[in-house]
Structure 1
Amino acid sequence: MPLLDAAKGIACLFIVGHHLCRYGPLPEGAAALAPRLVGWLGQDGRLAVQVFLVIAGFLAAASLAPEGVLRANQGPWQRVWQRYARLAMPYLAAMCVSVLVAAAIRPWFAHEAVPAAPVLAQLLAHGLLLQDLLGYEALSTGVWYVAIDFQLFVLALVMVMLAEWLQRRWQLSAARAAWLLALLVLALVAASLFAFNLQAELDTTAFYFIGSYGLGMLAFWLDRIPGDARWTIALALLAAVGAAALLWDWRIRIAVALAVALLLALAQRRGWLGAPPALLESRPLLWLGGISYSLFLIHFPIILLVNAVVARLGPHSPWVDALAMAAAVALAIGAAALLHRWVESRPASWRLTLGLLAALLMCGALVAA
């Protein structure tokens, strides 16, 4: 699905730009050259995360229940483990880099963006994707998303298994079970959009984000509806639920998620996922989309390192800050390519995952020493 790769590549650049314009002294100097751009990226660039949430839900539906019923090739625990390993392997490697970079620059770069030296419990919480639920400071900006993605996948799996259980209990046909699953997910999406997503204290849980994620799941299943008329009615219903939620309480993040979900549903129906417009089918953009998860994980310590080095050099012009920001993006992409090649693209395995967790704990011990 090259269109999804292109979308992820663009969204990831916005996330990198958001963090680049939000943390460290470099954006303060570069803002003199482009104040509106730096200000907008620093404030609203984070909205690109909604693209990842919707696409993640879209792909989860394709993986777990492409026909609206649970795919029978794996058991639930195997699915949970595989998802954890796919997320955790590059994540743990990136956390090692974050811990070491923070330790290296902390003595001579006093900035609030630099994480404090971690403790053992904090490292373990990060390894298990529980850091936000347990109230620990993040070792790198953006790692909250990895934990939320894992929670959302597990919640989606629970919903699919619930529909399968109800199908057996009520002796439903496969077609009716598929409709039941869609209605269950739609109900959960509505509950999130009208209630959970309005409670800021829930933003460490999947219930806060299931609205966007579930819109992606429903967008995937829309293509299973036969007939253009019925598909159009279903698409209008999905749009109406999202619009009603925005009328209930306007949130730009939900508006972005709804727009992405509707566009995905339309693109799938028209066959654009495999044949995107020529502008989006460029090889560099598709390649960037392929390494977008690694880039999402590794860019922040690179940004901190470049900020620290340039700040250490002493007074300089806004142009130096702007060029340093561009260099940080290039270095982050290079680091992401290495992380993707040597870790993310490798098959999931207990041995590698546990080895990377042990490496993270060793990095913490080395820093503490």
Structure 2
Amino acid sequence: MDRAAPAAKPAASRMPLLDAVKGLACLLIVGHHLSRYGPLPEGAASLAPDVFDWLSQYGRLAVQVFLVLAGFLAAGSLAPDGTLRIDRPLVRVFQRYGRLVMPYLAALTFSVIVAALVRPWLDDEAVPGPPVMAQLIAHGLLLQDLLGFEALSTGVWYVAIDFQLFVLALAAIGVSEMLQRRWAMRAETSRWLMAGFVFLLVVSSLAVFNRHAELDVTALYFFGSYGLGMFVFWIGRATRQSTWGFGVLLLALLGAAALALDWRSRIATAWITALAVAVIQHLDGLKPSAWPAMGEPLVRLGRISYSLFLIHFPVLLLVSAVVSHFMRVTPWIGLSGLLATVALSIGAAILLYRFVESRPATWRGVLGLFAGLLVCGAVVSLISA
């Protein structure tokens, strides 16, 4: 499956501009997938070949926006003042896992059902094969790529990477806290140590790990973009103009050096996003009062962007199967099917957000949805055998 997707559910309700940016980025990623999979884009592409080609080639870069914003929000959640503010890290790790996997497991179950339904009608490589139990368990534990299993839906790699990135960031901050306590450091020294640990991870990712495609199943490959977002948050907390200026200069030099070493459009996108957020934050552009009411549709879309990302692919498979089975896919029929997919996906995302994603993460909820995925997958496997 293609590797392009948005980030997990954000905690940015008080920063509507970030929600709006996520809404726009999510549409680009959905457009990227809709331009590549199934018979519908093959028919519709002739109506706007440049648009479809651009989405197919570059729409995936929007994932870098989500990586930067995820890092920004993680820094605000874990260490807004440069010190870890979490008493029980393992509990926080489960909370993150739960928030990620509850809508993810629900969407995966839907995807398994849809794939089974459309398989007789839609002969396309985008349709996942019947799942096996080990594959289902690996997906539920966010280990599918590390263990080499076929993805049950497009973009599920991102959910696993998001979780890995969060744990890696928490570990880096936690190690600095442990050293601070052992060496009885002053708070200011501790903050610099923490920033140093994160900076080391960012540099290692940008200069080494991100240049090896085989490592793209690990957080180390993506931490450069994620860490840039973390630095942007901390730079924005600077009380002195000189400190903010130094932080932005360091950010600019870091990105420029990484691109001079090895030009990567994904890193360029993350770098530009990080610099833009740093400047907008400095100008108080992230406050609710700075965002005009005319952007409310994008803000609302951004708040359901994770659910939209999770659910749009099975909706695309379902619409593609129905349209291609009952009609000849002409350019206008293909375009109408894609537009219907977008509308139905947004409707499904609203339901997924309301009934699953917005609910508190609990062990009972996670285990119930995990069991539902396993049972559904087992039934589909038996029927498909």
- Residues 310 and 324 in structure 1, CA contact (< 8 A), matched pair in contact too: yes
Question: Partner amino acid for 2:286?
Answer: L
Render the CA deviation track for 1:87-112: whole Å, top value 9, x for unaligned: 00000000000000000000121110
Counterpart selection for 1:129 from 136, 142, 154:
142
2:160 corresponds to 1:153: no
Q: Which moved more, 1:278-287 or 1:11-20?
A: 278-287
2:43 corresponds to 1:34: no
Question: Partner amino acid for 1:342?
Answer: F
Change (3 A) 1:143 1:276: farther
Question: Partner amino acid for 1:337?
Answer: I
Counterpart selection for 1:52 from 46, 66, 90:
66
Question: Partner amino acid for 1:126?
Answer: H
Q: In structure 2, how many angstroms separate the alpha carbons of the residues matched to 1:52 and 1:281?
A: 23
SS at match of 1:207: helix
2:197 corresponds to 1:176: no
Q: In structure 2, how many angstroms separate the alpha carbons of the residues matched to 1:77 and 1:48?
A: 31
- Residues 2 and 281 in structure 1, CA contact (< 8 A), matched pair in contact too: no
Aligned to 1:337: 350
Change (3 A) 1:246 1:361: same
Change (3 A) 1:26 1:276: farther
- Residues 65 and 270 in structure 2, CA contact (< 8 A), matched pair in contact too: yes
Counterpart selection for 1:203 from 209, 216, 227:
216
2:249 corresponds to 1:236: yes
- Residues 6 and 280 in structure 1, CA contact (< 8 A), matched pair in contact too: no
Q: In structure 2, how many angstroms separate the alpha carbons of the residues matched to 1:149 and 1:8?
A: 15
- 1:229 is displaced (CA, Å) by 2.0
Q: In structure 2, how many angstroms separate the alpha carbons of the residues matched to 1:238 and 1:166?
A: 26
- Residues 16 and 291 in structure 2, CA contact (< 8 A), matched pair in contact too: no
Identical columns (%): 62
- Residues 72 and 229 in structure 2, CA contact (< 8 A), matched pair in contact too: yes
- Residues 315 and 341 in structure 2, CA contact (< 8 A), matched pair in contact too: yes
Render the CA deviation track for 1:249-302: whole Å, top value 9, x for unaligned: 000100000111111112222111114765685221111011000001000000
2:334 corresponds to 1:321: yes
Question: Partner amino acid for 1:285?
Answer: L
Q: In structure 2, how many angstroms separate the alpha carbons of the residues matched to 1:316 and 1:51?
A: 34
Render the CA deviation track for 1:135-154: whole Å, top value 9, x for unaligned: 00000000000000000000
- Residues 29 and 318 in structure 1, CA contact (< 8 A), matched pair in contact too: yes
Render the CA deviation track for 1:94-136: whole Å, top value 9, x for unaligned: 0000000000000121110000000000000000000000000
Question: Partner amino acid for 1:46?
Answer: R
Question: Partner amino acid for 1:37?
Answer: V
Q: In structure 2, how many angstroms separate the alpha carbons of the residues matched to 1:186 and 1:67?
A: 16
Alignment gaps of 5+ in structure 1: none
2:95 corresponds to 1:82: yes
Aligned CA-pair RMSD = 1.2
Counterpart selection for 1:347 from 336, 357, 360:
360
- The correspondence of residues 290-309 of structure 1 with structure 2, limited to 5 A, is 290-309=303-322
Render the CA deviation track for 1:214-240: whole Å, top value 9, x for unaligned: 000010000222211221121111110
- Residues 6 and 286 in structure 1, CA contact (< 8 A), matched pair in contact too: yes
Q: Which moved more, 1:130-139 or 1:170-179?
A: 170-179
Aligned to 1:24: 38
- Residues 119 and 364 in structure 1, CA contact (< 8 A), matched pair in contact too: yes
SS at match of 1:282: helix
2:108 corresponds to 1:91: no
SS at match of 1:32: helix
Count of residues paired in the alignment: 368
- Residues 3 and 276 in structure 1, CA contact (< 8 A), matched pair in contact too: no
Counterpart selection for 2:116 from 103, 119, 143:
103
Q: In structure 2, how many angstroms separate the alpha carbons of the residues matched to 1:277 and 1:334?
A: 29
Change (3 A) 1:280 1:257: farther
Q: In structure 2, how many angstroms separate the alpha carbons of the residues matched to 1:250 and 1:304?
A: 35
Render the CA deviation track for 1:16-51: whole Å, top value 9, x for unaligned: 000000101111111110000001101110000001
Q: In structure 1, how many angstroms separate the alpha carbons of the residues matched to 2:276 and 2:290?
A: 14
Aligned to 1:259: 272
Question: Partner amino acid for 1:339?
Answer: L
Q: In structure 2, how many angstroms separate the alpha carbons of the residues matched to 1:24 and 1:207?
A: 32
2:132 corresponds to 1:119: yes
Aligned to 1:166: 179
- Residues 163 and 177 in structure 1, CA contact (< 8 A), matched pair in contact too: yes
Question: Partner amino acid for 1:109?
Answer: L
Aligned to 2:9: none
Q: In structure 2, how many angstroms separate the alpha carbons of the residues matched to 1:149 and 1:269?
A: 26
Q: In structure 1, how many angstroms separate the alpha carbons of the residues matched to 2:202 and 2:313?
A: 31
In the superposition, the TM-score normalised over structure 2's length comes to 0.94
